[in-house]
Amino acid sequence: NERYEPQSIEPRWQRRWEEAGAFKAGRRPDADTRYVLEMFPYPSGAMHMGHARVYTIGDALARHLRMRGFDVLHPIGFDALGLPAENAAIKDGRHPAERTRENVVSFRAEMKRLGYSFDWERELVTADASYYRWNQWFFLKLLEKGIAYRRQGKVNWCTGCQTVIANEQVVDDNRCERCGSPVVEKIHPEWAFRITAYAQQLLDGLDGLKDWPDRVTTMQRNWIGKSEGAEVDFALAAGGAAVKVFTTRVDTIYGCTYVVLAPEHPLVAQVTAPERRAEVDAFVARMRKTDAVERTGEGAPKEGVFTGAFAVNPFTGEQVPIWIANFVLAEYGTGAVMSVPAHDQRDFEFARKYGLPVRVVIQPAQGARLPAGDALDRAATEDGVLEGSGPFTGLASAEARARMSAHAAEKGFGQGTVRWHLRDWGFSRQRYWGTPIPIIYCDEHGMVPVPEQDLPVVLPAEAIITGTGEPPLAKVASFVNTTCPRCGKPARREVETMDTFVDSSWYYARYLSPRDDARPFDPEVARRWLPVDVYVGGPEHAVMHLLYFRFWHRVMHELGLVHEDEPVRRLVTQGIVNGPDGRKMSKRWGNVVAPGGMVSRFGADTVRMFMLFAAPPEKDIDWSDEQVDGLFRFLARVWRIYFARQACFDASEAALAQAAGEALELRRRTHRTIKRVTEGLEADLKFNTSIAALMELVNALYAFEPASEPDRAAVREALLALATLLAPFAPHVAEELWHEVMGPVARERLVADAPWPPFDPALIVADTVTIAVQVNGKLRGEVQAPAAAGEAEVRALAEADEKVKVHLAGKTVRKVVFVPKRLVNFVVA
Ligand code: ANZ
């Protein structure tokens, strides 16, 4: 058929791939492995373009690596439990299990229609007890290790979802990341994972993640938020307790000209002088009513009052006044700061406002010296070299901090401290659609873990899910009422469920032996496949999923389940797919284009090509009907050139060597294309440049009318390369055309399995010359070399030439005569 009709070819190849088991991992037990993974979808609605983009990117990589001869694991599953599914189910009055099942069916069908090369036999759904029982198993292990624990905590309570959510899920303005409702603080007992015990490891591990986007590692670094500082005691001049300040810049302490307490600081009442009391009390009362965020915002005016008391700087023995001010928070650090106006901007503004002294103690390591404090127009906050700092003068800031902390510790008035932004991961939810936490409460034995052999604790189907108030499981008597594993007396089950981020923390390992019912996965198999080589997904997961799974992996490492401590080598974060209007596709904007409809209209190959051609993976793309149309026309053009050049299909390969003139040009184009496409897939992940190169090759094919056997051989070479190189991007059309050229001999084979073509380095240089090769003055051969090639390069090419080799075999080269662009002569004996 000379017309390109994707609908008639795509289902056929999808069946062929399935029948051949072409994408099963483990088909090449002796080959090196590659594990290509995309973040599994959350099937709370239908598949959208964002999904199509991630899976198309991963699929191109997986297909390419298979063709490179690797044993490739490219699995898929569904992240089915959790709040969004539960909320959606409540909204349309359905059971989340039923809804999830439908969505999974529709996702699976859409993914198959897009021709993704998944190993479907490994599919997993986290809502299956056969999966989540291992969440429960891990929970028991973590409980044993003291990593999972119950705490009475201040929790973030989402007023919309009616459940506790993690710190990471609270976004701007104290709102829930999922539903946008206000989040309030609540005292609530909850389960937490001690991820903070891994803070240092998780931080250090980032240094090794060279193939992760900087953006993501930086976000993780900030989220973990290690801040090294010091606590220093300033004794009260009047005697009694000392004011303990927290500082990250102890190197500036000789420049401290006052101390500030938070208005709520317990020492305020004690130190305030009687004549200052009225003013101080009024200020404190006013601050209590002001929102903390507003009070400490960078632009907020600095305000404060003097307490009338003084504290002693332990480094200098000097007395400094004690103030209270709006910008110091009671909950942070020690609730008290030493103020260094010359080197801290807030302190500077405050000092200028209230006429407090400004003393420069740090000079820039390079460049102009700072003027005296009175002449300073803003704080100099950079590290530098200390001056006017007693025995520490002349030290660099970092060195000074270490020495000064040590000095304080030695003298007993302070110590170095480390603070972290990272908090433990509260993972219990008062909701239904999650993994039941395998704990039983017994009047006599308290909290008793469910014995391993009694797992899974199955989520009962009959809960009434309202989304408000008490956890739904509490109302299912048959679930709640049980017996104590220790004494057999009546007892109650835990009714809270796990955060879905537990499910996604280890699913990549479950794919290794997804039907294993004796353990979460087989560590032997894990040794062969882990870590994941390439992980593709959205950058919005930078600090939740991508941090949690690194934590979980380390725990699995300690449990002896995996052999390395990081789960993923290379991370690719893909950009957004916007609508044609440049806004993120969303029902709200009415600009959603569904992949299914596009596949029906243009075929999967066109949709895939669009995803890859519109921009490199990490960039956002705007949906463009025009560009989609253009890519469809490109594939149709590819299709037609094969029919136009059928006469070339059986050209002999031997004739290739005689290709000259335009045919040689075409050959060069072919080899250059192979090189560019390969680089686009491997080095820099710029699929768009790969596809652009293919377009140029197609133009070249149209421009060339073959007239001789060497011409036809050159065309055949180009057509074969084109079909092969197209396979990662537009796999269906590639199969069809590859088989056209290869003919009946290839019936048993698939381009999906064909070897990736190598390129001939001699042919990729645009400007090549023919150089005569002589041995002892006799012409023995010719080589194609870049025009600019020097003696060494030409000599190497000549020595590799079959015809020349015969004459050099067993001889010793005495001398080489080289005439650039013309001739090389080996003088041998
Ligand atoms: C003296 C100093 C001098 C400071 C200097 C900075 C620069 P991070 O890095 O965010 O941890 N600080 C300490 N406790 C505070 C509180 N409860 N409320 C408001 N500010 C507080 O910030 C640590 C720095 O924030 C500390 O180091 C302290 O000011 C201030 F040239 O101490 B610094």
3-state secondary structure of 568: strand
For residues 762-801, one letter each, b for 16 or more C-beta atoms within 10 angstroms of the residue's C-beta and e for the rest, the string is bbbbeebbebebbbeeeebbebbbbeebeeeebbebbeeb
User: What element of type H or E holds 219?
Assistant: helix 214-224
Sign, Cα dihedral of 335, 339, 343, 345: positive
**Do 662 and 753 lie in a common domain?**
yes
For the chain, the domain total comes to: 4
Q: Which one of 741, 763, 785 terminates a domain?
A: 763
Question: Which amino acid, one-letter code, is at 251?
Answer: D
Contacts of 484-489 spanning 24+ positions with Cβ under 8 A: 484/440, 484/442, 484/444, 484/445, 484/448, 485/440, 485/448, 485/449, 485/450, 485/451, 485/454, 486/442, 486/444, 486/445, 486/448, 487/442, 487/444, 487/445, 489/442, 489/443, 489/444
Q: Which one of 419, 454, 480 terminates a domain?
A: 419
Model's pTM, two decimal places?
0.82
Q: Is 591 part of a structural domain of the chain?
A: yes
Q: Is 504 in the pocket of ligand 1 (CB under 6 A)?
A: no
Q: Whose CA is nearest to atom 31 of ligand 1?
A: 343
Print the SS3 string covering 96-164: HHHHHHHHHHHHHHHHHHCCCCCCHHHCEECCCHHHHHHHHHHHHHHHHCCCEEEEEEEEEEECCCCEE
**Do 733 and 772 lie in a common domain?**
no
Distance from residue 193's CA to the centre of ligand 1 (Å): 29
What is the distance between the alpha carbons of residues 577 and 292, in angstroms, rounded to a whole number? Answer: 38
**Do 652 and 668 lie in a common domain?**
yes
Pair type for strands 183-193 and 362-363: unpaired
Choose the residue to mutate in 324, 344, 370 for probing ligand 1, maximizing ligand atoms within 8 Å of C-beta: 344
Distance from residue 349's CA to the centre of ligand 1 (Å): 14
Token duo for residue 626: 């025009």
What is the distance between the alpha carbons of residues 525 and 383, in angstroms, rounded to a whole number? Answer: 50
Q: What pLDDT digit, counting tens, does each position of 221-260 carry? A: 999 999 899 999 999 999 988 999 999 999 999 999 999 9
Q: Is 364 part of a structural domain of the chain?
A: yes
Instruction: Name which of 232, 277, 291, 580 is nearest 412 in CA terms.
Output: 232
**For the chain, what is the largest distance between any 2 Cα atoms, rounded to a whole number of angstroms?**
112
**Do 753 and 780 lie in a common domain?**
no
The length of the chain, given as a count of residues:
829
**Do 307 and 392 lie in a common domain?**
yes
Q: Is 640 part of a structural domain of the chain?
A: yes
Q: Is 251 part of a structural domain of the chain?
A: yes
Name the range with the highest mean pLDDT among 166-180, 373-387, 756-770, 799-813: 373-387
Q: Is 257 in the pocket of ligand 1 (CB under 6 A)?
A: no
Instruction: Name which of 191, 171, 193 is nearest 182 in CA terms.
Output: 171
Q: Is 313 part of a structural domain of the chain?
A: yes
**Do 244 and 282 lie in a common domain?**
yes
What is the distance between the alpha carbons of residues 350 and 102, in angstroms, rounded to a whole number? Answer: 62
Q: Is 332 in the pocket of ligand 1 (CB under 6 A)?
A: yes
Q: Whose CA is nearest to atom 18 of ligand 1?
A: 328
Q: Is 122 part of a structural domain of the chain?
A: yes
**Do 294 and 400 lie in a common domain?**
yes
145, HSE (Cβ side, Cα atoms, 13 Å): 17
Whether residue 784 is predicted with pLDDT greater than 90 in this model: the reply is: no
Q: Is 337 in the pocket of ligand 1 (CB under 6 A)?
A: yes
What is the distance between the alpha carbons of residues 97 and 117, in angstroms, rounded to a whole number? Answer: 27
Instruction: Specify which residues 288 forms β-bridges with.
Output: none
Choose the residue to mutate in 222, 232, 247 for probing ligand 1, maximizing ligand atoms within 8 Å of C-beta: 247
What ipTM goes with this model? 0.92
CATH of the domain at 584: 3.40.50.620
Instruction: Specify which residues 493 forms β-bridges with.
Output: 440
**Do 389 and 518 lie in a common domain?**
no
Q: Is 61 in the pocket of ligand 1 (CB under 6 A)?
A: no
Mean pLDDT, range 621-632, rounded to an integer? 95
Tokens 């599919």 correspond to: 123
**Do 754 and 815 lie in a common domain?**
no
User: What element of type H or E holds 547?
Assistant: helix 545-558
Q: Is 232 in the pocket of ligand 1 (CB under 6 A)?
A: no
Domain span at residue 528 reads: 24-129+505-597
Q: Is 614 part of a structural domain of the chain?
A: no
At residue 174 the predicted structure's pLDDT band, cuts being 50, 70 and 90, is confident
Q: What pLDDT digit, counting tens, does each position of 791-828 carry? A: 887 888 898 888 898 999 888 899 999 998 899 999 99
At residue 747 the predicted structure's pLDDT band, cuts being 50, 70 and 90, is confident
Q: Is 335 in the pocket of ligand 1 (CB under 6 A)?
A: yes
* Helices of type H across 654-708: 661-682, 687-703
Return the pLDDT at 678: 95
Whether residue 91 is predicted with pLDDT greater than 90 in this model: the reply is: no
**Do 257 and 406 lie in a common domain?**
yes
Q: Whose CA is nearest to atom 11 of ligand 1?
A: 227
Instruction: Share the mean pLDDT of the chain.
Output: 93
* C-alpha angle 339-345-348 in degrees, rounded to nearest 5: 60
CATH of the domain at 270: 3.90.740.10
Q: Is 398 part of a structural domain of the chain?
A: yes
CATH of the domain at 775: 3.10.20.590
**Do 266 and 340 lie in a common domain?**
yes
Q: Sheet containing 163-165: which strands, arranged edge to edge?
A: 163-165, 148-158, 183-193, 425-426
Return the pLDDT at 197: 97
Instruction: Name which of 182, 814, 504, 688 is nearest 826 in CA terms.
Output: 814
Mean pLDDT, range 303-319, rounded to an integer? 97
Return the pLDDT at 466: 78
Q: Which one of 579, 597, 615 terminates a domain?
A: 597
Return the pLDDT at 766: 59
What one-character DSSP code corresponds to residue 801? -
CATH of the domain at 652: 1.10.730.10
**Do 670 and 755 lie in a common domain?**
yes
